Amino acid sequence: MTFKVKLLVIAVVLAGVGLGGWTARGWFEDAKRLAIVEDRQELAEQIRGDISGIAQTVETRLGELRANERIIDRGIIREIQKPIYQRVCAEPDVVRLLNAALRGESVPGPAEPSVEVPGGTSPAEER
């Protein structure tokens, strides 16, 4: 064999080894990427399953709460529509002021109490 043929054979072998190595590296990197993609898809499916279970639980609970909410709202509406203060623990002037405030009216009246405030001893005066 001549020198040129040997050189050509060596060049072809080196090119084949280089091309084979480059192809093998591509396959290896593609396999790693595929493993990562499959892992992410599996994790996404697991998260979707967990979220689906949570959403089902929340929907069930909201269904129960909506029934309670309607009952509570009706009771509140009835109570708000019928508040009339009576003299149980308050003086008649206080009841009159509360009922007027409920109707949205302003009641003219003195800013000071109508009777003298008793001047009893307080803890601050004892010192």
Position 114 in a domain? no
pLDDT at position 102, please? 78
Q: What domain range is 29 assigned to?
A: 12-107
Position 3 in a domain? no
The mean pLDDT of 6-30, rounded to a whole number, is 93
Mean pLDDT rounded to a whole number for the chain: 77
Which one is predicted more confidently, 15 or 125? 15
Position 83 in a domain? yes
Position 4 in a domain? no
Instruction: Report the C-alpha gap between 71 and 78 in whole angstroms.
Output: 11
Which one is predicted more confidently, 103 or 120? 103
Our count of domains for the chain comes to 1
The mean pLDDT of 49-61, rounded to a whole number, is 88
Alpha helices in the chain (DSSP H): 3-81, 92-103, 123-126
pLDDT band of 18, cuts 50, 70, 90: very high
pLDDT at position 27, please? 94
Distance of CA 33 to the CA centre of its chain: 35
